Amino acid sequence: MSGVRIDNCELQACVQMKEVIAQKLMDGESSESIKSYFVTQYGDVVLGQPSREGFNFDCLAFSDPGALVGLDG
């Protein structure tokens, strides 16, 4: 399921995540609270982008852009 956006996913796991999100929104939870819940459950990968802090951010911030797209000679 890597790289799949939940709004474009019909897998049962995605359907269940959507149901959890809907319930949490009905319960009055904020978007940040819901994101934190899913990060706790599945890790940063659930956000679909690297964390902007710690090791993940350092790797992204200090990497060679050419190497990221395969253009590094």
Q: What is the pLDDT of residues 49-59, one digit of tens each?
A: 655 555 554 45
Question: What is the pLDDT, as a whole number, of residue 28?
Answer: 96
What count of residues does the chain have? 73
Assign 34 a pLDDT band (cuts: 50, 70, 90): very high
> 13 is written with which tokens?
């796991």
Question: What is the pLDDT, as a whole number, of residue 51?
Answer: 57
68 pLDDT more than 50 = no
pTM: 0.62
For residue 15, CA distances in Å to 32, 43, 70 come to 20, 19, 35
Work out the average pLDDT over 16-44: 93
Question: What is the pLDDT, as a whole number, of residue 40?
Answer: 93
**Phi-psi sector, 54: left (phi>0), alpha (psi -120 to 50), beta:** left
